[in-house]
């Protein structure tokens, strides 16, 4: 009788792993997560601004707070240099060039008209001083020289500008040069929405805002003065940049960035009648944004490890993504969140796999979700490992 009981237990130990693995495979099929849908973020307020087009974007989320004729392709004048500077900063980030590299001015770069620092053919200047000259003084000659230094020619650089625009989803943009001079350009166009998109990408490079918030500076060892073309930097509280532009075709344009109380805004104005009107419109739109909107930011809380079935371990560590959203002023305190997690997940799991969500709502209406992901790999336990584990437990009894 004793031998028969031992035999039955041994048989159970042998067969039980197969039954457990089969059950785990079935449960894995039932644990599919529900896809997240994006909420509509279209602004509907009509402020009737006196310009051809305008956009107000919250920078951290990219949400459009206000738009007026936002997708019409228009000449952008020197606001073009937002893309020029973006490619320069990305080249620095990628190690293709360095701030202390020396750039030699070509005949073409020296021939640029409009805003300039009057580079002479063969004159040499470091990348950092040329970047400052483009950001602060909107120097067309420095923009061309940087483009040639990076891509070999302005033509090749402009091709890269258009390719980067496509990558960013700028649907109404066509660049023909690096600086926005449009006296001979027939199709050098972009839209207010596209300018906001590339401006948001540019200000991810903190060095740019360091330069664009400067009112006055110098290059050539202090011998040549730079004064910011963006008067908002001096006269609008919280303004940090970014780029102005004006030609007879484009009118007066600006991509203005500003920050107050942790809220960062990008204001794009195109086709204003005068520089003063452009600045006044931008200031009023920024005021409207700061007065009506704030940003709610969720700091992920620590989550207990999740039970793991069919894995080499019993549990797996998990963590939530951060979350932020734009809210109307005064409503941030009404935002609530709930954690949605299954009782268990089934191996195998890869690091970064989504295992649950945090759902955010305001006054009962869902406003967004943040994924909860595995922090490490979890391998599926094999039959032999499972059999050995159960045998060891049996022998220890």
Annotated catalytic sites, by residue?
78, 81, 138
| 359 three-class SS | strand
Six-digit token string for 177: 């040069």
What's the gap between Cα 336 and its chain centre? 25
Phi and psi angles of residue 287, each rounded to the nearest 5 degrees, phi first: -55, -45
What beta strand segments (E) does 148-304 contain?
216-219, 224-227, 239-247, 251-260, 263-272, 293-298
Distance CA 377, CA 353 (A): 9
The answer to whether the Cα torsion of 68, 199, 153, 180 is positive or negative is positive
- Residue in this structure with the two tokens 């390719």, named with its chain if needed: 163
Cα–Cα nearest to 265, from 253, 255, 257, 273: 257
- Residue in this structure with the two tokens 């620092």, named with its chain if needed: 117
Strand partners, 311: 380
- Beta strands 344-346 and 306-309, pairing class: parallel
Phi and psi angles of residue 209, each rounded to the nearest 5 degrees, phi first: -65, -30
Distance CA 200, CA 62 (A): 7
Burial of residue 123 (CB within 10 Å: 0-12, 13-18, 19+) is: middle
């Amino acid at each position: 009788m004793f031998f028969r009981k031992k035999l039955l237990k041994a048989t159970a130990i042998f067969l039980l792993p197969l039954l457990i693995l089969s059950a785990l495979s079935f449960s894995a099929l039932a644990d599919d997560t529900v896809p997240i849908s994006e909420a509509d973020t279209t602004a509907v307020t009509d402020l009737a601004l006196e310009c051809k087009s305008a956009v107000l974007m919250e920078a951290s989320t990219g949400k459009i707070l206000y738009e007026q004729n936002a997708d019409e392709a228009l000449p952008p004048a020197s606001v073009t240099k937002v893309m020029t500077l973006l490619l320069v900063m990305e080249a620095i980030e990628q190690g293709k060039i360095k701030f202390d590299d020396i750039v030699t001015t070509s005949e073409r770069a020296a021939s640029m008209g409009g805003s300039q620092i009057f580079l002479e053919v063969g004159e040499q200047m470091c990348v950092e001083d040329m970047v400052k000259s483009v950001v602060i003084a909107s120097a067309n000659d420095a923009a061309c020289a940087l483009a040639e230094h990076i891509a070999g020619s302005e033509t090749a650089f402009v091709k890269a500008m258009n390719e980067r625009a496509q990558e960013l989803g700028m649907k109404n943009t066509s660049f023909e040069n690096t600086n926005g001079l449009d006296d001979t350009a027939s199709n050098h166009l972009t839209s207010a929405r596209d300018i906001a998109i590339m401006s948001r990408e540019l200000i991810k490079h903190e060095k740019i805002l360091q330069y664009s918030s400067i009112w006055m500076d110098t290059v050539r060892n202090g011998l040549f003065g730079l004064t910011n073309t963006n008067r908002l930097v001096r006269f609008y509280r919280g303004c940090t940049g970014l780029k102005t532009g004006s030609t007879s075709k484009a009118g007066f344009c600006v991509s203005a960035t500003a920050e107050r109380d942790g809220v960062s805004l990008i204001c794009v104005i195109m086709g204003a009648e005068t520089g003063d009107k452009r600045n006044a419109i931008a200031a009023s739109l920024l005021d409207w944004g700061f007065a009506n909107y704030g940003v709610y930011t969720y700091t992920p809380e620590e989550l207990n490890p999740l039970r793991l079935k069919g894995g080499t371990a019993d549990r797996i560590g998990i963590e939530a993504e951060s979350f932020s959203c734009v809210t109307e002023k005064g409503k941030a305190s009404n935002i609530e969140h709930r954690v949605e997690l299954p009782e268990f997940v089934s191996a195998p799991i890869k690091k970064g796999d989504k295992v649950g969500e945090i759902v955010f709502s305001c006054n009962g209406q869902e406003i967004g979700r943040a994924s909860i992901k595995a922090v490490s790999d979890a391998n599926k336990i094999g039959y032999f490992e499972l059999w050995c584990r159960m045998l060891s437990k049996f022998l220890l009894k």
